[in-house]
Structures are given as C-alpha cells and as structure tokens.
Homo-oligomer: A and B are copies of this chain.
Amino acid sequence: MIRRLSQARERGIPEATVARLPLYLRALNGMAERGLATVSSEDLAVAAGVNSAKLRKDLSHLGSYGTRGVGYDVEYLIYQISRELGLTQDWAVAIVGVGNLGRALANYGGFVSRGFRVAALLDADPEVVGDRIAGLNVEHIDELETVIRRRGVSIVVLATPAAAAQQVADRVVAAGITSILNFAPVVLSVPEGVDIRKVDLSIELQILAFHEQRKTDRMTGGPAMAEEWPEAVDL
C-alpha cells in the first residue's frame, strides 16, 4: 500500500520538532548498530531523553510511520528522518577563520560522518594561508566567492574573531550563502531568508553560573538581600 502523506507533511514542521529530530536520529543509529529491528516510542524517547508523547507527536509530523502494537522500524525511521533533515544529500561546508577553534573543527571527524563535508578552509592571515589541515589547503579569504561557487559550498561556519564576523557574514551572504553557523560572540545582522544559528560558549557558561548561584544561595540561606549597589552610584 502506498503510504498516504499526512497533511502535516509539507505544511511546516514545528521548529522545536526539527531541533529534536537529530537527537532521535542519533539514538536510532545506535540502535541500528546494536542490531535492533524495531523500537517503541517509549524506548526511543528514553534513549533520546524526551517524553514519549512528545516523541510520537514529533514523528507524526513526518507522517504515520509506526505500527500500532509494535513500534517503529529502526532502519525505515532512520531513512525518513534523514530524508526530512536533508541528510540524504551531502553538504559542502566551508570554515572561515582557521584559528584555535577553526582548526579543531576542521580536524573533527564526527563532522563528516553524517552528510557534511568540510570542503574549504579560509583565513585572512597570510601566515595561516597555505597551511595544510586535515587534508585541505587553507585558502585566502579573497578567494571566498570563487571557492564557494567552485566547491558548491552551501553552509558556512564562522570562526573568526568577533570583530571580523559581521564583515565576513556580509560577504558570505553576498556570495549567495543562506545558512551560517556562527561561533563568534556577536549578534549578526543578515537579510531575511538567511538562517543563522549560533554556538556561544560564554552564554552557556553564564546560564550555568546563574543556576549554580541559585543552588548555593539556597544552601547558604538566600542571597545577601541588602547589597543592591555597593557604592551608591548616582543615576
């Protein structure tokens, strides 16, 4: 029987769901390696660290791929999620800014594993340009447009200093890129239609610090309520 496309398919998958699909995919891959043929929403939910009702609702947005009384076919679900995420094609990624972080990313194996391929490394520093890292030549940022076109790059990872990030982002966007992963601690401004995701270590640590402070406050009997502004600063 040809499976009916649920009306949910095509008509926008919720953003929160999209963000969890890679998690399910990772859990499923682990299960496939261990030779499991089917999995229940309950088991998969546990492996992915989410609630099983949420998992079922998420999957229902892709279509009706489970079998009541049985669960989901592991391989089939891997294929469906991969396809939905666009991982059945391979994506050429360029890393701009080959410093501490850029090098770590370039050398990172887990990158390649799932549809992503580092296709170019670019930097502005003549000292760095020409270096061979993870089998790739570091090219000069002046070549940006050419490299993007020639290698079919569609995702750019920004690992330059904060001061250069906006300027590089502008060039990258002008070159036709619409997907950017930004590691620099700045709010990038880009035109409508360009997707930016950011990874910000410092923000993550600050959020942890906030909660950590709450925990220790609670133990030591609450924060020092008095101290609001140590030396009264005239507003």
Which residues of A line the B interface, CB within 8 A? Answer: 2-3, 5, 10, 18-19, 21-23, 25-27, 47-49, 67, 73, 75-76, 79-80, 84-87, 89, 91, 93, 100-101, 103-105, 107-108, 110-111, 113-116, 154-155, 178-181, 185, 187, 189, 193, 195, 197, 199-213, 215, 222-223, 225, 228-229, 233, 235
Contacts and interface: CB of A to CB of B under 8 A. Distances in A.
A108 B10 CA distance: 42
The 4 closest A-B pairs by CB, nearest first: A86-B213, A100-B104, A49-B187, A104-B104
B19 A85 contact: no
The copy count of this chain in the complex is: 2
Given A85-B209, A193-B215, A233-B76, A203 B19 contact: yes
B110 A185 contact: yes
Given A212-B86, A212-B155, A21 B205 contact: no
B107 A206 contact: no
Contact of A225 (B5, B103, B212): B5
A205 B228 contact: no
